[in-house]
Amino acid sequence: MIIEPYASHDRSAFDCGHPDLNTYAARHLGQYERNRLAKHWVAVEQPNGPITGFYAISQHALDTQSLPHRIRKRLPRHPVPCSLLGRLAVDRRHQGRHLGEILLFHAFSTVLRASREIGTFALIVDAVDDNAANFYTRYGLVPLEHNPLRLMILTQTLLQHMTA
């Protein structure tokens, strides 16, 4: 499996089992990419082949009030810069083979690379439902206060556990 930047790959047969994410992949992904609202990385079996998985990543300003007190007490009161993993999905035919994990670790590396040049306090993830949130908590992400579907991991924590 190869992970490469999205470049008009075929998305027509993509089916992760979640209607909103399927619609995003089929109808909106290209538009988000063209308008530079998100950068997409896609998993393919051969270069430029049909996508078997993808994630979308953007910049985000996070309101510090949503952070646990132990973290926000050392931060300014205004929003802080973060990366946002808005969507991550794996085609049903490829689920259960650690592709979701590989894509998530790729996103961690992307954040670490970006953080060398742009202030990035944390990675924020929007889980599509409780089941998806459970997937992310396996990897050390913790829910933000008052929103169990939005989770985070500090860039500092990623740095301690990974090399970009």
Q: Which residues are catalytically annotated?
A: 136
Judged by beta carbon, residue 16 or residue 153, the one nearer ligand COA is: 16
Q: Where in 109-148 is the site for ligand COA (CB under 6 A)?
A: 127-128, 131-132, 134-135, 138
Reading the block at residue 45, the tokens are 């079996």
In terms of Cα–Cα distance, which of 57, 71, 70, 31 is closest to 125? 57
**Segment near ligand COA (CB under 6 A); pick from 57-65, 73-81, 82-90, 153-161:** 82-90
**Segment near ligand COA (CB under 6 A); pick from 13-21, 41-49, 62-70, 115-123:** 13-21
Q: 3-class DSSP state for residue 46?
A: coil
The contacts of residue 117 (CB under 8 Å, 6+ apart) are none
Reading the block at residue 146, the tokens are 């008052």
By the rule CB under 6 A, 98 interacts with ligand COA? yes
Question: Cβ(21)–Cβ(56) under 8 Å?
Answer: no
Binding site for ligand COA (CB under 6 A): 16-18, 21, 87-90, 95-101, 127-128, 131-132, 134-135, 138
